[in-house]
A and B are shown apart, each in its own frame.
Chain A
């Protein structure tokens, strides 16, 4: 028997997809509140630029490129799933998951250097925001990576292909959050 999220569509949108939109709506409030707090503090504390100059713009840009590319793979996986090509969708989802992994490796490298240089969660309010915002985002990347692997395993057997679109939507949202984190944490010096 198929789950209700697959078969029911009372609102004109399949229930599974509607649930993902609601998740995103709540995530906007979570990330939005955090980023709004960051922006107002940043504007009130010009001295934070003394700290912001130590973030690595090139690594931030590299991670943006990685996430944009993984989003491309996610939407191509969605397209393949629509054509009933489960194996191709699974391969593309694995490529997306690879992007998530590269993102996390770059982030680990970046953080280990910053922590070794003495910029920790408690050293300054700027760094508190930096690690909280980027850390919360990284948790979402890890969650997406795990879900993507589960969906890919099913898609490879041509099962539950509608889930490829759902994890794709979530992944694009994670990408959009980073699109805003990048200028706020790396470019505004």
Chain B
């Protein structure tokens, strides 16, 4: 039986150029948060991380020329992660609700407040 062609055999981008873009994005993600503006930090640190991951997946892992169901498989797993987050996060992020109170978490936040002022 003949060997299946590897996905990258069909298309080779300039890998060094892609690496250069990734390094430039890394610089952006380090410098951006130095301005200490919340929106700039969110975009440069986390937005750029998503872009970097996309570039690696597309160009180095050749996901754009891989069979489509592989992308669906990976995206499906990310969706499961988001489902977990949506289901659990409200109980973790909030420390009280209509008929409940997470006193331990409230105490931790309260006790740490004076220390936060020091910084």
Is there an interface contact between B8 and A172, defined as CB atoms closer than 8 Å? no
Contact (A179, B49) CB under 8 Å given A75-B15, A76-B15, A79-B8: yes
A13 partner residues in chain B, CB cutoff 8 A: 4, 66-67, 70
**A165–B66 Cα gap in the complex (Å)?**
13
Instruction: Bin the interface of chain B by size.
Output: 35 or more
Whether a CB of chain A sits under 8 angstroms from the CB of B108 is yes
A69 partner residues in chain B, CB cutoff 8 A: 19
Q: Which chain A residues numbered 13 to 67 have a C-beta less than 8 Å away from chain B?
A: 13-14, 17, 21-22, 24-26, 28-29, 32-33, 35-37, 39-41, 43-47, 49-50, 53, 57, 61, 64-65
B77 partner residues in chain A, CB cutoff 8 A: 25-26, 28-29, 32
Residue-wise, chain A 62-104 has the 8 Å CB interface mask toward B (1 for contact) of 0011001101101110110010000000000000000000000
Looking at the assembled complex, report how far the CB atom of B77 sits from the nearest CB atom of chain A, in whole angstroms: 4
Is there an interface contact between A57 and B67, defined as CB atoms closer than 8 Å? no
**A-B Cβ contacts below 8 A, count:** 151
Which residues of A are interface residues toward B (Cβ below 8 A)? 6-7, 9, 11-14, 17, 21-22, 24-26, 28-29, 32-33, 35-37, 39-41, 43-47, 49-50, 53, 57, 61, 64-65, 68-69, 71-72, 74-76, 78-79, 82, 162, 165, 168-169, 172-173, 175-176, 179-180, 182-183, 187-189
A-B contact pairs, 29 of them (CB 8 A): A7-B3, A13-B67, A14-B3, A17-B6, A26-B77, A29-B81, A32-B78, A32-B81, A35-B81, A36-B82, A37-B92, A39-B85, A40-B85, A43-B93, A50-B112, A50-B116, A50-B119, A65-B26, A71-B56, A75-B60, A78-B8, A79-B12, A79-B15, A82-B8, A172-B61, A182-B29, A182-B49, A187-B33, A188-B45
Which residues of B are interface residues toward A (Cβ below 8 A)? 1, 3-4, 6-9, 12, 15-16, 18-19, 22-23, 26, 29-30, 33, 41, 45-46, 49, 52-53, 56-57, 59-61, 66-67, 70, 73-74, 76-78, 80-82, 84-85, 88-89, 92-95, 105, 108-109, 112-113, 115-116, 119
